[in-house]
């Protein structure tokens, strides 16, 4: 960093204020010094307010970008550079907390407006399709003599007697096959969950 070391004349606070004035003129090297001087303090303040390190990191980056963009608004006579930067950080972190709180309240109000028993249509549809695939896969695992009676009964709506008649099989035999097929189907479905 060129010229940064010259600013050590009166102490670190004077150095930071001088650096901030130079940042206002677009000095990138001075910004690196400002970043080094304040980023930890900004991160610490943001962590205390937000209680989430990931969000605190985001706020720190946002604040440091704001410092770069608005350094010309800093007036040394009104206070220290550190106070100015930490004020920006505090505002940004509090805004983040307020936004999260407002979002939570909006979600709660929206949930309160939903009719009782309302559901997520997309999730319900996806779950239904997933269950259909499992049923088809499990049906395919049955032997033909077990699968066909179940398909006739459940997808065509035939009774035991009608299935037995359609397949030219005694009713008692058909009931036994269908019971055994249903047990295997249930076991397959439970194993697939």
* Residues 127-152 pLDDT 10s: 777 888 888 888 888 888 888 888 88
Rounded distance between C-alpha atoms, residue 117 and residue 124, angstroms: 13
Walking along the chain (193 residues) 10 residues at a time, the average pLDDT comes out as 42 78 93 95 94 93 95 91 95 92 81 64 75 84 87 82 88 90 88 70
SS3 158: coil
Would you state the pLDDT for residue 118? 54
Would you state the pLDDT for residue 152? 85
CATH number for the domain whose boundaries are 125-192: 1.10.10.10
Instruction: Name residue, tokens 């307020």.
Output: 98
Would you state the pLDDT for residue 166? 85
CA distances in angstroms from 84 to 30, 60, 88, 89, 121, listed in the order given: 16, 14, 6, 9, 50
Fold of 13-110: Rna Polymerase Sigma Factor; Chain: A (1.10.1740)
Domain-wise residue ranges, the chain: 13-110, 125-192
């Amino acid at each position: 960093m060129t010229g940064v070391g010259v600013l050590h004349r009166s102490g670190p606070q004077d150095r930071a204020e001088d650096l901030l004035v130079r940042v206002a003129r677009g000095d990138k090297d001075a910004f690196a010094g400002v970043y080094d001087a304040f980023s930890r303090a900004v991160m610490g303040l943001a962590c205390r307010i937000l209680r989430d390190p990931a969000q605190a990191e985001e706020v720190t980056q946002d604040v440091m970008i704001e410092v770069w963009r608005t350094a010309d608004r800093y007036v040394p006579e009104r206070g220290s550079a550190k106070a100015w930067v930490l004020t920006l950080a505090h505002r940004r972190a509090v805004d983040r907390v307020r936004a999260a709180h407002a979002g939570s309240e909006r979600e709660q109000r929206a949930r309160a407006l939903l009719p009782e028993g309302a559901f997520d249509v997309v999730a319900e549809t996806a779950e239904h399709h997933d269950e259909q695939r499992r049923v088809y896969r499990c049906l395919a695992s049955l032997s033909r003599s077990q699968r066909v009676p179940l398909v006739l009964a459940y997808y065509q709506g035939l009774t035991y007697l009608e299935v037995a008649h359609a397949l030219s099989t005694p009713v008692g035999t058909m009931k036994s096959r269908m019971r055994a097929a249903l047990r295997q189907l249930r076991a397959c479905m439970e194993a697939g969950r």
